Structure 1
Amino acid sequence: MKPLNNSATAVVFAYHNVGVRCIQTLLARGIKIALVVTHQDNPAETIWFESVAALCQERNIPFITPNDPQSQELLDQIAHIAPDFIFSFYYRHMLPVKLLELASRGAYNLHGSLLPKYRGRVPVNWAVLHGETETGATLHEMAAKPDAGAIIAQTAVPILPDDTAYEVFGKLTVAAEQTLWSALPGLLDGTFNRLPNELSKGSYFGGRKPEDGRINWQHTAQQVYNLHRAVAPPYPGAFTELHRKQFVIVKARLSDIPAANLPPGLHVVDNVILGVCGDGHTVRIIELRCDDKTVSAKELQQLCNAA
């Protein structure tokens, strides 16, 4: 399909894979991107996703990486551009209302859930943790509160029983692109509809820290497995401690191997590493790591015997 015939300009706040794909979608729809605001990569973070800055360099799009998106300097810079649209695609900071008001034709965010569910941070990880079977991407108007503006468009994706958050995020990236692609014609010609974002029917969640991946073996096997799926690599991973060593689950599946009256925690049964859970069911641990090295069932058994 040819780009739409328009002369609309946009300032885009973007990061991550969704940022890259949605910038490419705007370009494909013929929108002129006057400026991209992105983040500098954090050296302490595992960078497994695509780079918005690299895309901008490749496509000769001006970009900046300010520490404070609420600075007067940035506000003045965008006011000088006088964009038709402001878009936010997985940018990690809230944008002030006075900045949003600089877009003459509206300011829109692409959020990784089916709003009003899972407003806030890391919505994919929270959805997997809670055992959801569906999530999606929502394009919505930006407002003073996070993820609270009117809904413009949504695209749903399934969460399969063994999907990790990383796998779901891949689906979500495609859903984000589809949502934006389908919504842009209406945004450009003014024929789009606004749907209510009924916050009282939804939920809000904050960010997650690596420590939140600590396993409580008193939980059910499904709860432990959902935690693993929600934080499996490239995220920090679900972890447990045994004999003063920390073990991270890299790959696992729900198991039908009985707990055999074993207490909750890590065990080796018939050369298989199992996580025994509080409901008496087990999680089969296919790959376990300690000190960045894979631990075999034999090695774990030797550790347990030596303790």
Structure 2
Amino acid sequence: MTSIVFMGTPDFSVPILRMIQEEGYSIQAVVTQPDRPVGRKRVLTPPPVKKAAVELGLPVIQPERLKGSEELKQIIDLQPDLIVTAAFGQLLPKELLETPRLGCINVHASLLPKYRGGAPIHQAVIDGEKETGVTIMYMAEKLDAGDIIAKQAMPIEEDDTTGTLFDKLSIIGRDLLKDTLPSIIEGTNERIPQDESKVSFARNISREQERIDWSQSSTAIYNQIRGLHPWPIAYTTLDNQNVKIWWAKKSTATHTEKPGTVIAIGKKSFTVATGEGQAIDILDLQPAGKKQMEAVNYLNGVGSKLQIGDLFE
């Protein structure tokens, strides 16, 4: 029986892990990131993959950093036939890449060679892409640069967020890997080198990328808001206080005001000027020190003093 070490961390990885178990493959260990403090109370919380592994009765290894660690030696000593990764969150050292006789494969949430890196789903939405997908590939020392085994595309809908795409792509990745694993084990799978001339990158989201630039078009800002939803959330400032913008929609309003200016206030939303004479309606937000709330509750409460002419920056 083919022995597998699975490596993954977020919810995206869980259906893939469960499928490997259900298909009867021998999972020697599950490698995931360490437990992290979560929330205002900083409660130490295990990653979703660890929760699933414990539920399935699988041994868990949690290296802070693989390279040079005792955990790395522990994984190598298992001598798995195959290593499967899905959003693990760390690069694999060369000695680990060379350990399994069938290699190391990765379930990557983009249509490689487009969007190599740690935030391919976020970046695809932010960039206004109409299509994304999943690539199953061999891992190499260079980031997401290995040969392609299989790909499957899917459309990005107008109201998709990073959160909805994580769920959809996780299932696509699960099913594509299920169909592909037998050929990988038998050595009959395709192996297609990536076209280096078409490479683009999706680095982990920076704080700078989270801040709204109101001089952009309403479409670009809408894509940024949904691309950062439900994490880490786009933000702006009002009176030098951070305000997270959870949801919005493009407005039909036009204006000649400075981008960021409040140009209309309704009962359930308010409208902010964007670039190109366009505007966007704010529907859901989170003022500094407060919980997320619908705009109607904001306008009736902490935002009751909001006025036309106020400036988000």
Fold shared, TM-score > 0.5 on shorter chain: yes
Q: Paired residue for 2:236, among 210, 235, 240?
A: 240
Task: Name the SS for the 2:276 alignment partner.
Answer: coil
CA distance in 2, matches of 1:267, 1:39: 43
* Matched positions, count: 299
Q: Does 1:197 align with 2:194?
A: yes
CA distance in 2, matches of 1:129, 1:74: 36
Task: Name the SS for the 1:138 alignment partner.
Answer: strand
Ranges in structure 2 where 5+ consecutive residues have no aligned partner:
none
Counterpart of 1:19, as a letter, is S
Q: Paired residue for 1:108, among 105, 110, 128?
A: 105
Q: What is the aligned partner in structure 2 of residue 4 from structure 1?
A: none
Change (3 A) 1:79 1:245: closer
TM-fit CA distance, 1:286: 1.1
CA distance in 1, matches of 2:146, 2:52: 29
Q: Within 5 Å, give how 1:137-216 maps onto structure 2.
A: 137-216=134-213
TM-fit CA distance, 1:137: 1.0
Change (3 A) 1:129 1:48: farther
CA distance in 2, matches of 1:45, 1:199: 41
Q: Which moved more, 1:292-301 or 1:49-58?
A: 292-301
TM-fit CA distance, 1:96: 0.9
Partners of 1:12 and 1:86 within 8 A in 2? yes
CA distance in 1, matches of 2:265, 2:78: 67
Q: Paired residue for 1:43, among 37, 44, 58?
A: 37
CA distance in 2, matches of 1:112, 1:192: 20
Task: Name the SS for the 1:34 alignment partner.
Answer: strand
Q: What is the aligned partner in structure 1 of residue 216 from structure 2?
A: 219
TM-fit CA distance, 1:270: 4.6
Q: What is the aligned partner in structure 2 of residue 19 from structure 1?
A: 13
Counterpart of 1:110, as a letter, is V
Q: Paired residue for 1:94, among 85, 91, 95?
A: 91
Q: Which moved more, 1:105-114 or 1:25-34?
A: 25-34
CA distance in 2, matches of 1:244, 1:83: 54
Partners of 2:160 and 2:226 within 8 A in 1? yes
Ranges in structure 1 where 5+ consecutive residues have no aligned partner:
1-6
TM-fit CA distance, 1:89: 1.2
TM-fit CA distance, 1:222: 1.0
Counterpart of 1:11, as a letter, is V
Change (3 A) 1:49 1:220: farther
CA distance in 2, matches of 1:305, 1:201: 46
Identity level (%) = 32
Partners of 2:138 and 2:146 within 8 A in 1? yes
CA distance in 2, matches of 1:226, 1:239: 13
